[in-house]
Chains A and B, each alone.
Chain A
Amino acid sequence: MSMQPSVQPMTVPLVDDEPPVSLWRDAWHRLLRNRLAVAGLVIVVLLAFVAVFGPWLTPYDFLSQDLNARNQLPSLAHLFGTDDLGRDVLSRVIYGTRTAFVVAVVVTAVAVVIGVTLGAMAGFFGGWFDRIVMWLTDMTMSVPNLLLVVVINASLKGPAMAWMEARYLETLNPFYRETVWVDFLLVFGSMALISWPPYARLVRAQVLSIRGRPYVTAARALGLTNRLILTRYVVPNALGPLIVSVSAGLGTAMVLESAFSFLGVGVNPPTPSWGNMISDGLRVWQHYPHLLAAPAAVLGLATAAFSFLGDGLNDALNPKGSK
């Protein structure tokens, strides 16, 4: 044959002209191309900024009452108006944002730490440990959330308050008069208790699936240690769905905090929370709609922002699954 192709061992690279792109950077670019997700991200960042720098942003102290300016409609002096005690609603909403973020971040962080640790160990080691963890998640998820929180509040709040009171009388340390810490502790504790099981399940499923991937077997065949395999192979590849879940979880935690405060089992007045502001506003909404509208609108905005961001992250991090 005159045209027999000769042996040509070199390959022609396909991607010579472009810089290397890691999957993370690829996902980031995909996220930035999603308008709703970018809007969500901007709102989340703004709200976080407000939460962190709240005390320097508020025009008034959130507790200071001005009995001469009660129940005012929004004006230049009070952009969101004032409430029945003459407190500036904008300042209270800003502090409510702080409350919502503190609760959401702390609760989600605690839930993620518990969930990821238990889930990863259950998935990696299996056996009796796995069965116990799965049994625990099933048990926790089968108890109605609200019931659990109400029970915790009802049974622990009284004794905790009494203990604080006793400590104060004993030491006269002003710290023990700040009963808001009891509120926070109970809210954090009970919400973390009901929030970790989904993370544990997600991470366990991820670890189970990644543990069976050929690249993990390949790493074992190279002789790598379990620790290296977990940190370099399993965890980075399990992170995508976890990030999506955490973004959604932060939004959920904010809604939960508001719901509990609304029902009076969360953060209690006078500490502002969107939930207890909505609760107060609801009683007088026919006369002073702004008292309900301001916290409700901000809560809605925050929830929508986290939801858009979560969807966008999901599309960006799992591009195949979402098409």
Chain B
Amino acid sequence: MTAPAQDKPLLDVRGLTIEIDSRRGPAIIVDGIDLTVAKGETLGVVGESGCGKSLTMLSLVRLLPNKIRVKSGTADFAGRDLLKMSKAELREVRGGKVGFVFQDPMTSLNPVMRIGDQLAEPLIYHRNLSKAEAKDKAIELLRLVGIPAPEKRIGAYPHELSGGMRQRVMIAIGLACDPELLIADEPTTALDVTIQAQIVDLVRELRAKLGMSVVWITHDLALIAGLADRVAVLYAGTVVEDAPVDELFARPGHPYTRGLLASIPKLTDERTARLASIGGTPPEPGRRPAGCPFAPRCTLSEAICHERVPALEPLGTPTHRVACWVAQRQIREAA
């Protein structure tokens, strides 16, 4: 390593392309995604269903479902490429340096195993702890994620816990081996708002305490506003915008981001009026149009948008990058 540690991102994904075997042959569903996560940073990955946000994260720990595979790209994690690691190295990363929290805590926990044992398992495997040490650590983790009476709860089965409690257990498993990176895939989508607020608060607190990086995948822009340092907006398998959170909400550059923000009804908005909406529906995976994938739904699209794919390039400031022909031209004209 030649560069100073803080300049080099913890996770650096370049040109990640994922394809699926569909009935019509192989189809690209994630097309050359670039993402970086700095040490201690929280990256929000926002997009609608089918935009490829979950597959991107699953591909990093090589847990893609059947018939879906990485076609090209690199994913540098602390100096090593996750996509080229051996199985043994990968096992070390999974549940060790990279923790994962999935959306549905009911189906992601093993229903016939006590939660204490599920927590202890990675500790025994990754940290070589003895059974007794692992149990103590499991109790400590449950306390950390705010589960009352953890000494008693380690003997409970998942179905004996409420949804919010199960998601806390999932987070505790994700945190078990002090990961450098926690990837959370829609961890609050199945939960009620008051429970969601508890979980979001918990993750913020833990991040400050443990200094880890977080990738939080969600479809909820409002949720990400209070949580992320930086946001990447995905559309149809590409990153269309990548910016610091304040910048993104104050000056959204891509028409899709603008449309999304405009279509959220705001609590502070007083009038009952029509919401701005984005017409049409996202393209089916594998049937993406030529040129910019958003062009068919975009009210600003020009001839070039339907022909050539725009690159993700800085818009004004170097940290705010947008993949849009029109936005880039407007910035050049203004300059």
Is any CB of A less than 8 Å from a CB of B in the complex?
yes
Q: Is A173 an interface position by the 8 A CB rule? A: no
Q: Is A321 an interface position by the 8 A CB rule? A: no
A3-B258, A3-B327 given as contacts; is B278 within 8 A of A8 (CB)? yes
Q: Is A12 an interface position by the 8 A CB rule? A: yes
Query: Interface size of A by Cβ–Cβ distance < 8 Å?
Result: 14
Is A5 a contact partner of B327 (Cβ separation < 8 A)? Answer: no
Q: Is A11 an interface position by the 8 A CB rule? A: yes
Q: Is A10 an interface position by the 8 A CB rule? A: yes
Q: Is B266 an interface position by the 8 A CB rule? A: no
A12-B296, A12-B297 given as contacts; is B262 within 8 A of A5 (CB)? yes
Contacts of B283 in A (CB 8 A): 14
Chain B CB within 10 A, most for which of A2, A4, A5, A9: A5
Contacts of B330 in A (CB 8 A): 2-3
Q: Is B277 an interface position by the 8 A CB rule? A: yes
Q: Is B89 an interface position by the 8 A CB rule? A: no
Of B255, B277, B287, B297, which one neighbours A3 at CB under 8 angstroms?
A: B255
Contacts of B287 in A (CB 8 A): 14
Is A9 a contact partner of B258 (Cβ separation < 8 A)? Answer: no
> B166 CB to closest chain A CB, in angstroms?
24
Question: In this complex, what residue of A is CB-closest to B298?
Answer: A5
Instruction: Mark contacts of B270-296 with chain A using CB atoms, 8 A cut-off: 1 yes-contact digit, 0 otherwise.
Output: 000010111111011001000000001
> B286 CB to closest chain A CB, in angstroms?
12
Contacts of B202 in A (CB 8 A): none
Question: In this complex, what residue of A is CB-closest to B326?
Answer: A3
Is B280 a contact partner of A5 (Cβ separation < 8 A)? Answer: no
Is A12 a contact partner of B259 (Cβ separation < 8 A)? Answer: no
Is B300 a contact partner of A12 (Cβ separation < 8 A)? Answer: no
Is A11 a contact partner of B276 (Cβ separation < 8 A)? Answer: no
Within 8 A of B (CB), among A3-51: 3-12, 14
Of A5, A10, A14, which one neighbours B276 at CB under 8 angstroms?
A: A5
> A253 CB to closest chain B CB, in angstroms?
35
Contacts of B66 in A (CB 8 A): 323
Is A7 a contact partner of B274 (Cβ separation < 8 A)? Answer: yes
Is B327 a contact partner of A8 (Cβ separation < 8 A)? Answer: no
A interface: dominant SS: loop
Question: In this complex, what residue of A is CB-closest to B278?
Answer: A5
Contacts of A11 in B (CB 8 A): 279-281
Contacts of B298 in A (CB 8 A): 5
Q: Is B299 an interface position by the 8 A CB rule? A: yes
A8 to B283, CA, bound (A): 17
> A251 CB to closest chain B CB, in angstroms?
30
A11 to B330, CA, bound (A): 28
Is B258 a contact partner of A4 (Cβ separation < 8 A)? Answer: yes
Is B280 a contact partner of A6 (Cβ separation < 8 A)? Answer: no
> B333 CB to closest chain A CB, in angstroms?
11
Of B276, B279, B326, which one neighbours A12 at CB under 8 angstroms?
A: B279
Of B276, B279, B327, which one neighbours A4 at CB under 8 angstroms?
A: B276
A11 to B259, CA, bound (A): 15
Contacts of A9 in B (CB 8 A): 277, 279
A7 to B259, CA, bound (A): 10
Is B326 a contact partner of A8 (Cβ separation < 8 A)? Answer: no
A11 to B284, CA, bound (A): 14
A5-B259, A5-B299 given as contacts; is B281 within 8 A of A12 (CB)? yes
Q: Is A1 an interface position by the 8 A CB rule? A: yes
Of B255, B277, B296, B326, which one neighbours A7 at CB under 8 angstroms?
A: B277
A259 to B223, CA, bound (A): 66
Is B274 a contact partner of A12 (Cβ separation < 8 A)? Answer: no
Is A12 a contact partner of B299 (Cβ separation < 8 A)? Answer: no
Of B255, B258, B281, which one neighbours A14 at CB under 8 angstroms?
A: B281
Knowing that A5-B262, A8-B277, A12-B279 touch, tell me 6 more A-B residue pairs with CB under 8 angstroms: A3-B255, A3-B330, A4-B262, A7-B276, A8-B297, A12-B281
| Chain A to chain B contacts (Cβ below 8 Å), 10 pairs | A1-B258, A5-B255, A5-B300, A8-B278, A8-B279, A8-B299, A9-B277, A12-B296, A14-B287, A323-B66
Which 4 residue pairs of A and B lie closest in terms of their CB atoms, listed nearest first? Answer: A8-B279, A12-B280, A5-B259, A5-B299
